[in-house]
Amino acid sequence: MAHPIIAPRTAAPRTIPAPVAIPVREWLPWAAFVGILALALLYIVGLEQGATQIFHGEWVHEWVHDARHVLGFPCH
């Protein structure tokens, strides 16, 4: 396998970007929102209409049944 000719790099000075400081009060509400959303999704996919039930019927179970088995949640 032929290797391409690579031009030698010149020692150009690199500037390292300074990290941007994001105040906690700006990202904490988003972190809480995403965390609550993730827990709600985990509950719906893993537990709803299985051990516990918020919604009537079996449509959530039918909708997420295969995902439960793939993710290892006990279903039935």
Question: 29 or 74, CB closer to Zn ion?
Answer: 74
8 A C-beta contact, residue 50 and residue 68: yes
Instruction: Report the Cα–Cα distance between both ends of the chain, in Å, rounded.
Output: 56
Query: From the CB of 3, what's the least distance to Zn ion, in Å?
Result: 55
Question: 9 or 48, CB closer to Zn ion?
Answer: 48
Query: Site residues (CB under 5 A) for Zn ion?
Result: 65, 75-76
8 A C-beta contact, residue 73 and residue 45: yes
Question: 39 or 67, CB closer to Zn ion?
Answer: 67
